[in-house]
Amino acid sequence: MSSAPASIPNVSRLRTYASFVRFEHTLFSLPLILAGVFSVPGPALPLSRWLLIAVAAVGARTAAMALNRLIDRRLDALNPRTRLRELPSGRIKGAEAWTLLLVSVAGYVTACAALGPWYVKVCAVPLIVFAAYPYLKRFTPFCHFGVGAALALSPLAGFAAAHPDLAKPWPAVWLAAFALLWVSGFDIIYATLDEAFDREHGVHSMVAWLGREAALRISALLHRSATLCLFGVGFTVLGPAPAGNAWVRVATAALVAVAAVLLQLEQKWAEDVNLAFFKVNVWVGAAVLALVMVARLSGGF
């Protein structure tokens, strides 16, 4: 009986940590990682390698959010929209945040080492990007591309982890280009929430620089360009499909169209950031993963 009361705060604490790193946002990066894994055919991965990929992905994702929260701690405390976040509100102490960061980086680097020596050589690249992009808003309205670059690494990482020979990387490269444009575009939409705050405190964003309407036009252009990248994904994943698999081409084109419609809806619903950012984007990621999986049917897994 004495252990029950002690377990309740532990569960609550885990929820606080999950909220701190926005664990639910994994729904954005996970489909991109899996799309990278399946972007070209290869031998079936053993369970041990899947587990290492999962540990590396969770570790990198957690490190990215912890870095973002630590670096933006002062701005978050000033912003009425973010001052109740875990770190500025005191629900998580600075020491806890640093510990979570160090543990996640250790898990990520350890998984990279287990995947192979080459992965250790490049494992610092995502960490550098994660540490750099929160600072971009201090200097440039093009900061949104820093967030896009961070997510663009997801399909490249998935591809590299599943295909150590790095052969036929172009589908993953097209996926990365799509992710860069998609994420940069929706980060501009997200920035509309802080237009007044950013101007008052000298925080750079497209919205603060150009105004809401002009910034959203740029966001729409980025999303249209992202759709074009999906055609590149489809063509490179499909390859020379046999005539009997014509339906695969039709299904692939249909999924590109679905993703394009979702991106257009994201622009249409920009006034409701919760709907556009947190809900539509989940379906965009799912559509992209489905696109790769269906296209992959033409050449096998």
pLDDT of 23 reads 64
Please state the rounded mean pLDDT for residues 75-90. Answer: 90
Average pLDDT in the chain: 88
- As a whole number of angstroms, the distance between CA 161 and CA 53 comes to 7
Tokens encoding 281: 């984007």
Residue 300 has pLDDT above 60, yes or no: no
CATH code where residue 101 lies: 1.10.357.140
On whether residue 204 sits in a domain, the answer given is: yes
In a domain, residue 301? The reply is no
Q: Look at the block and give the residue holding tokens 């997510």.
A: 151
- Proportion of the chain in helix, strand, coil states, percent, rounded to 5: 80, 0, 20
Residue 203 reports pLDDT greater than 90: yes
**How many domains in the chain?**
1
**What's residue 1's pLDDT?**
46
- Find the domain containing 208 and state its range: 3-296
**Cβ–Cβ under 8 Å, residues 32 and 155:** yes
- Which is higher by pLDDT, 7 or 56? 56
Does a structural domain hold residue 12?
Answer: yes
Residue 170 located in a structural domain:
yes
Domain-located, residue 244: yes
Residue 245 has pLDDT above 80, yes or no: no
Report which of residues 248 and 202 the model is more confident about: 202
Residue 66's contacts (CB-CB under 8 Å, 6 or more residues apart) are: 20, 21, 97, 100, 101, 104
Tens digit of pLDDT for each residue in 186-200?
999 999 999 999 999
The pLDDT assigned to 241 comes to 53
DSSP string, 85-104: SHHHHTSS-HHHHHHHHHHH
Is residue 109 situated within a structural domain?
Answer: yes
- The letter for the amino acid at 73 is R
The answer to whether residue 233 is domain-embedded is: yes
User: Do 295 and 289 form a contact (C-beta atoms < 8 A)?
Assistant: no
Helices then strands, counting H and E runs in the chain, come out as 16, 0
